[in-house]
Structure 1
Amino acid sequence: MSPATMHILLDTVLKDLSTDTLDESLEKLRFFFPETLLLGALDLIDRESVIMYKTPWGRAQYEVLGSTATYTVFPGLLSPKGNASAYCTCPAYAYSVLLSETQLMCKHVLAIMLARRLERCIEQPIDADELASVIARQCSL
């Protein structure tokens, strides 16, 4: 099955997330992700580590507070090969998604997708100057 087809199926599963029971949703997600990746993403959500900075003009910037660092996630970015629907600054994403192509996404991207769908992102309003500081901090990693 092509990565593009997998992403379409995953989007369908995520849309049904709020209507399915928790067990049904988890079983469907296990089709796409190893248990460790899925549990890691759910743990990030439980620890309230998914932050969405919201600008007055409607732009959203996402960060995930990992165990060793803070990672930036850019949902909606497609890779040239079409094997990814987002980008994360973590090393696992670079290796597992981009280089070896063994995963659809890292736990940080999955956490963002699940947290948005479950309305579990920690929203923080941010103005233009604060956004510039966040981006500068992210770029200096």
Structure 2
Amino acid sequence: MTASHLVAESVWKTIESTHSVNEEQLSILHFLFGKNFERATRIVDQRGVKKISSEPSGRFIFQVVGESRRKEEYFCFAEHYCACYSFFYDVINRAEQLCCKHQLAARLAGSLGACVEVKVSDEQLAVLLSEL
């Protein structure tokens, strides 16, 4: 893990435990993630993050709206994966980013309880995941 990753994780853990974010935390995350974080906050402000939770298992995945005119929606696991192009290009292939804006939006909205909550059955979630 890089120093940037460790700092980011420390900030995220604090936000998750308090369900709130302060100016200093926003400043640190902006420094670490730059424009991706700015874009992520816009997505969260526009209520563009759905948390799709399945019952009875409680498993979940995020669905995050993109910023283009087409308003595509990307499935992602906030800490590990996003189905968008930027995740594969900037995060995986070139290793220029720690994560994409959709992951940041999912993590921020999830930490703050700012997601649109959607409940589905375990079977419905399995179908969604099989389409990834």
Band of TM-score, shorter chain: 0.7 to 0.9
Q: How large is the RMSD of aligned CA atoms in angstroms?
A: 2.1
| Contact 2:30–2:38 (CA under 8 A) maintained in structure 1 | no
SS in 1 for 2:91: helix
> Can you list the C-alpha shifts for 1:92-136, whole angstroms capped at 9, x where unaligned?
111111111111110000011111111111111101343244335
Alignment: residue pair count: 126
Q: Relative to structure 2, which stretch is displaced further, 64-73 or 16-25? A: 16-25
- Say whether residues 1:90 and 2:84 are aligned partners: yes
Give the structure 1 partner of residue 59 of structure 2: 59
Q: Relative to structure 2, which stretch is displaced further, 60-69 or 124-133? A: 124-133
Structure number with greater CO (CA < 8 Å, separation at least 6) is 2
Give the structure 2 partner of residue 78 of structure 1: none
> Can you list the C-alpha shifts for 1:22-55, whole angstroms capped at 9, x where unaligned?
3212211122111x21111011111111111111
Q: Distance in 1 between matches of 2:9 and 2:21?
A: 17
The 5 Å alignment of 1:1-141 reads 2-3=1-2, 5-17=3-15, 18=18, 22-34=22-34, 36-56=35-55, 57-67=57-67, 68=70, 69-75=72-78, 85-136=79-130, 138-139=131-132
Change (3 A) 1:97 1:111: same
TM-score (normalizing by structure 1): 0.78
| Contact 2:64–2:75 (CA under 8 A) maintained in structure 1 | yes
The gaps in structure 2 that reach 5 residues or longer are none
TM-score (normalizing by structure 2): 0.82
Q: Distance in 1 between matches of 2:104 and 2:48?
A: 12
The gaps in structure 1 that reach 5 residues or longer are 76-84
> Can you list the C-alpha shifts for 1:52-88, whole angstroms capped at 9, x where unaligned?
111111111211121331111124xxxxxxxxx4111
Identity of matched residues, %: 29
Q: Distance in 1 between matches of 2:124 and 2:77?
A: 18
